[in-house]
Structure 1
Amino acid sequence: MGNVGRKFSYCLPPISHQQTTSTKLMFGEEATISGNEVVSTPLIPRSDSPTYYYLNLEGITVGQQTVPLTSQGNGNIFIDSGTTLTMLPTSFYEQVEALVRQAIGADQLIVQNSDSKLCYTNANSIQNVPTFVVHFTGANLSLNRQNIFRFISDDVMCLAMLPTDGKSIYGNVAHIDFEVEYDLDQKKVSFAPVDCTKQ
């Protein structure tokens, strides 16, 4: 990457602001993020996919219950700002989805959507969206509603995750309102929660 070094960062604003707020891609020292809330996780090199940025996902906590991700090996998910949804191993996804359903409650109307597994109507009235923490090695990321769900219409929201039997991906909905820094020399990815509309 020449004189800008091997470091870059970005900050994705909420989807509702993406028409009016530009996303800045920073390089070199300008890409460094700082502050008390910065957490970092190692980049895991994989010879079978050298162009992807792999991380180690250890589990996800929904409410008070943690679903561990086991037997997936090291470097079990790659982070991709160009992919919208987070793709998780099928059995792991099903456990996470079940906890989300349980937390939101059976009285909320679930609607069918061809692109998503779990969608709710009357979404603006849902109060009991659970706390949601993604556990990477060395970094616990607390996600909020806009990272967990995406609105597909004014009043229908869908879980921004899908099951996969292929590669697992940490998609860009989960990056919203986080500064995300890739440091290829230090072999780490760092995250800091911020208001990306003000960056």
Structure 2
Amino acid sequence: MSITTIYGLRIELVPRTSVDSVLFPKNLTIEEIHQRIVDLSRARAFHLASASVAKSSQNTLNREPETLKPPISSSPLAILYLTKMSIGSSKFSPYLVVDTGVDDTWLQCEGCKSCFPVKGGSFSAQQSKSYHASSCDDPLCFDKSCFRNVCSYNWMYRDGGLLKGVLGTDSFTFNGGNSTGITFPTLAFGCAYESQNIIFGGYIGSENVISGVFGLGAGQRSILKQLETVTDLRFSYCLPSWTFPNGSSTFLRFGPDAQITGDDKRKVQTISLIPNMSRYYVNVTGISVDEKRLDIDPGLFKLKNDGSGGFAIDSGVGPTLLVPDAYSVLRAQMIRNFFRYAWHPIEGKETPYDLCFKAASSAGNIDVKIPSMTIHFQGGDLAVGSNSVFESIDGLLCLIFQPTEQLGPNLLGAFQQANNRFLFDVKKSTVSFVPETCNEK
């Protein structure tokens, strides 16, 4: 199928809980699954905080988050959704981490040294007849670091992860629920022949299925930008509520296939993205619980000049993460809400979340109302239902939010995005959202 005849594009998003048996073996309890999702989310937030304030806060960078536990690391690759596609004439079919915060797509390639193990092996550029190394004059060879007119690929993560290799092109075939698939013949990606300290949020072993990263930022090497004639720099998704032990897959939709509609009861709201950023930051002005505005300083959500702070939409984390001064206000309000039922926070028990309750027998037949929430953006409000605020875990009712580093960023996680369709339009620097029942869409 030629690119000119494609009406949009879609790729499947798969929760790591479904396929990553290293980090999520099938015998985990609900509590253990939540614990690992929480640790993945905090690890990612810790990395983002480290990356944004590296030049100004060494003390913060050298401090490990107190709740970080093995087997989770502070890798930026510790995120929740993967995708799968076919690459090259050899039909290599890897799982890649889907990251909306980076531009580059990269794969570990066969013949590399200091490599992480991949179940089924790494990508063999030699066996793919459609693979070509990019020349030094390729527009996507940014730093013009070359050897024998082949563009070198070098990528360093701020937590010590390092990739070295070449920039190349090959065909990418996206299945997207279509039995025939859609093939793009020359997409650029990094072919890594050396990878150091590359981890995916868990102990890497022979069962690791992740081969690299699928970058969906807004930069020149992003798949979003490389396929601009198809994507029109817009994409949408609708995340189902997380059910355990396995979450449901969904689809990323691009270009004309990325649509959002409402009706009399479901109003589409559109807010501004902060432009020229590597992440999808938005302006948040406050939070309400059961329509009561919390006394949170809006400055805690603002993006600072040094790159710290801010509030980003990030489907790569589970629970929403708030800076401590904002989270403490939310936590105190929830305690007050349940005090009327004689419910008190659980003390002295290890739980995945910072605030959990056990129903008190003295509550009797009182109709307990679980609070809902509203996140106020500049230009719109996201209603978060009670089932996306609290989760029942092994007999406890837990607030599925978490505190993060004081320097941020705040992150709107997948749990609170559930059952809403989001549409990101990079050309317009906007994101739109509307309530929708997300069921493998």
**TM-score scaled by structure 1?**
0.86
Is the contact between residue 55 and residue 136 of structure 1 (CA under 8 Å) also seen in structure 2? yes
Shift of 1:148: 0.9
User: Structure 1 residues 126, 171: closer, same or farther in 2, change over 3 A?
Assistant: farther
Deviations 1:84-123 (A, max 9, x none): 1111121111111111221222512432444311012349
Shift of 1:126: 7.4
In the alignment, the residues of structure 2 paired with residue 114 and residue 130 of structure 1 have an alpha-carbon distance, to the nearest angstrom, of 20
- 2:373 is aligned to 132
| Letter of the 1:150 counterpart | E
Which of 58, 62, 69 matches 2:289? 62
1:1-199 matches, cutoff 5 A: 1=224, 2=227, 3-16=230-243, 19=246, 21-36=248-263, 37-45=267-275, 50-67=277-294, 68-72=296-300, 73-74=302-303, 76-105=310-339, 107-111=342-346, 112-122=349-359, 127-153=368-394, 155-164=395-404, 165=406, 166-197=408-439, 199=441
Mean CA deviation greater in 109-118 or 74-83:
109-118
Deviations 1:144-199 (A, max 9, x none): 1222123333x223211112213111111101111111111111111111111274
Shift of 1:71: 2.1
| Letter of the 1:135 counterpart | H
SS in 1 for 2:328: helix
Is the contact between residue 113 and residue 119 of structure 1 (CA under 8 Å) also seen in structure 2? no
Is the contact between residue 237 and residue 423 of structure 2 (CA under 8 Å) also seen in structure 1? yes
SS in 1 for 2:354: strand
- Normalized per residue, the structure richer in strand is 1
| Letter of the 1:157 counterpart | L
In the alignment, the residues of structure 1 paired with residue 274 and residue 282 of structure 2 have an alpha-carbon distance, to the nearest angstrom, of 6
User: Unaligned stretches of 5+ in structure 1?
Assistant: none
SS in 1 for 2:327: helix
User: Structure 1 residues 18, 7: closer, same or farther in 2, change over 3 A?
Assistant: farther
Is the contact between residue 372 and residue 389 of structure 2 (CA under 8 Å) also seen in structure 1? no
Deviations 1:44-84 (A, max 9, x none): 136xxx32110111101112421244224358201100101
In the alignment, the residues of structure 2 paired with residue 105 and residue 60 of structure 1 have an alpha-carbon distance, to the nearest angstrom, of 21
| Letter of the 1:158 counterpart | C
Shift of 1:23: 0.8
In the alignment, the residues of structure 2 paired with residue 195 and residue 64 of structure 1 have an alpha-carbon distance, to the nearest angstrom, of 23
User: Structure 1 residues 135, 101: closer, same or farther in 2, change over 3 A?
Assistant: same
Kindly tell me the number of residue pairs found equivalent between the two proteins.
Answer: 194
SS in 2 for 1:84: coil
Q: Which has the higher contact order (CA 8 A, sep 6+)?
A: 1
Q: Percent identity?
A: 28
Is the contact between residue 43 and residue 187 of structure 1 (CA under 8 Å) also seen in structure 2? yes
**TM-score scaled by structure 2?**
0.41
| Letter of the 2:411 counterpart | I
| Letter of the 1:70 counterpart | P
| Letter of the 1:60 counterpart | I
SS in 2 for 1:24: strand
Larger radius of gyration: 2
SS in 2 for 1:10: strand
Moved over 6 A (4+): none
- 2:14 is aligned to none
In the alignment, the residues of structure 2 paired with residue 39 and residue 18 of structure 1 have an alpha-carbon distance, to the nearest angstrom, of 33
